[in-house]
Structures are given as structure tokens and as C-alpha cells.
Structure 1
Amino acid sequence: MLLDRPLLRRLFHLGALATRGMTLGVRGAAIDAQGRVCLVRHTYVTGWHLPGGGIEPGEAAPDAMMREFREEAEILPTAGLRLHGFYRNAAAAGRDHVALYVAPAFTILGRKAPDREIAECGFFPCDALPEETTRATRARLDEIRDGLPPAALW
């Protein structure tokens, strides 16, 4: 029997909560010279999202984002990441937080092949995102594009 995606998402977050107490994750915005942003579609949750994931014990947040860019999108930032904001993700769990980084310069190492976590990866014009792009992803991109301060909630 296949589990539905909301249940998979909840199980994923419960597992992280059980092993970490408080969950801390990263997301990253990589916007190319043509104004296209890298988005990923996961196998376990619906919608298009900025690349990212959990910070491992002993790992610095920027290092986690560098790892996640590589694992999820085959992106190698070539300049220091810029922290855009720090958010509480109340939709995931009461103790989940997300650090959002912007990659001011990067190299695409190759085409990201689908795997057990990432169903699809692509670059999309910031003004023509896929319909399934999540509300939070759209809000974070608006903040970055318009120079707005980060919101408190993801």
C-alpha cells in the first residue's frame, strides 16, 4: 500500500523531531543571469520548492546549504552564500526553523537526474513560476526580488 504524500511528509517531520528535538533546515535561492530560479519537486511532498533540507548535527548552516544545492540541483555556489532570513515553519512542526540563503553566483555542474528524493529539478522565470510552486516559495522569492525584509513565518 502506498502512503499518501501528506502522511509521508508528516512521518518525515516526526522522524526528524524524534531524532533532533528541534529541526533546523536550510533553503536556497539560486537565480541565474536570465532571472530564472532553480526549483525542485520532491518525491514525498507536492509542489515546487527551493532546494534545501536538514542541517546535520555538527554541520554549519552554510555548509548544509552548499551540500543541499549539490545533492538536489547539481549547483555549486562560486561565491559566499548570503543569508536572507531565518523563519519558523509552523506548518511542518512547532519547533521547525528554516534559514534561507541566496547564492549570488553559481555553476551548474550538470543536469540533475531524478532520484529517490528529487523527482525533478529545473530553472523557471521568476515572473512565470510553475502553478504548483508553493505559497512559501513564492513569498520568499517576492522578498528577495523586491528587497523586502524576511517574514517571521515560512
Structure 2
Amino acid sequence: MATPRVAAGALFFDDAGRVLVVKPSYKDGWDIPGGYVEPGESPRTACVREIREELGLSTAVGSHLVVDWAPAPGEGDKVLFIFDAGVLPESERDQIKFRDGELTEWRFIADDDLDELMPARLARRIRTALAAQRRGIPVYAEHGSAPQAL
């Protein structure tokens, strides 16, 4: 029986449609807010918890945009969720506080800048999530991309 690691992250947007990314203190590159799901916890609940722990924001997240089968060398099988957190109002941006020391900075970036700041597999997953949001239909992905129909 498979026992993948499960993680959940969220896409927040500004009014221009740029994506909020965060800089972890414990690894290279940028990421989206989120983290691993704890035993007995749903991916959505984990996402909300991680946003509260990492950014100090109490926010609801919408529907999932992507479920990604993304095993990684040295890390094993993974199932990764991205949820839609909608537009982050300017008033809430001022409330972002790095509570647990895992993050050092945040910013909004355009789709074109994803490849410069993060691993290719994460950039693909975010782009797949952005396409799903535009279509209004969640997507199943493998390694960040929606598979072609068989």
C-alpha cells in the first residue's frame, strides 16, 4: 500500500493577478505558503493551519486547484495540493508576520518570474493551478503538469 507524504499550499493573488511567494529560511529558492499534512488532518485544514503558522493570517481557502502526484528522488512518493486563497487585500498584507521563523520574506510575482525563483517542478505546478483557476476546473497533475488523455 502506498504511503505518500502529503502537503498543501495556497495561491494568494494581488489585484494584478500576481502570485504571492515566500522565501523559506531552510532551503534555497522560493515557495508558496503551505506545508506538510499532519496525521489525521485534511489537506485543506493543513493549508489553513500552515498559513496561520507561517504568515500569521487567519484566512479561509477555497477549492483545490491542483492535486499533483509528484514523487521526488530521496523523498519518496508525494501528493501535493494547491488551494485557491483568492485576492489578498492590502489591509491583510500589512498583517503578515513570520511567526515560526521558517520564512524570511514575501512578495508577489508574475507568472513569467516563476522559473527564476523556484524549482521547475513547482513552477509547473503553479502554472497548472493558474490554468485550472482560469478555467474554473480543478486539475489532476503528475510532476506538476496535467497528463495527456490516454
Structure 2 length-normalised TM: 0.72
Of the three residues 49, 58, 64, the one matched with 1:83 is 64
| Root mean square deviation of aligned Cα | 2.6
Of the three residues 105, 110, 126, the one matched with 1:141 is 126
Structure 1 stretch 139-148 or stretch 91-100: which is displaced more?
139-148
The separation in 2 between residues aligned to 1:48 and 1:146, in whole angstroms, is: 20
Letter in 2 for 1:140: R
Question: Mapping of 1:1-154 within 5 angstroms?
Answer: 22-78=4-60, 80-91=61-72, 93-107=75-89, 108=92, 110-113=95-98, 115-129=100-114, 131-147=116-132, 149-154=139-144
The question of whether the paired residues in 1 share the 8 Å contact of 2:21 and 2:108 is answered with yes
Aligned-residue offset at 1:86: 1.5
Structure 1 residues 125, 112: CA separation in 2 closer, same or farther (over 3 Å shift)?
A: farther
Unaligned 5+ residue runs, structure 1?
A: 1-20
Q: Which residue of 2 aligns with 1:6?
A: none
Structure 1 runs of 4+ aligned residues shifted over 4 Å read none
Tell me, what secondary structure is at the counterpart of 1:64?
helix
The separation in 2 between residues aligned to 1:60 and 1:75, in whole angstroms, is: 19
The separation in 2 between residues aligned to 1:122 and 1:74, in whole angstroms, is: 15
Please list the CA deviations of residues 56-78 of structure 1 after superposition, one character each: whole Å capped at 9, or x if unmatched: 12212111111112222344434
Alignment: residue pair count: 133
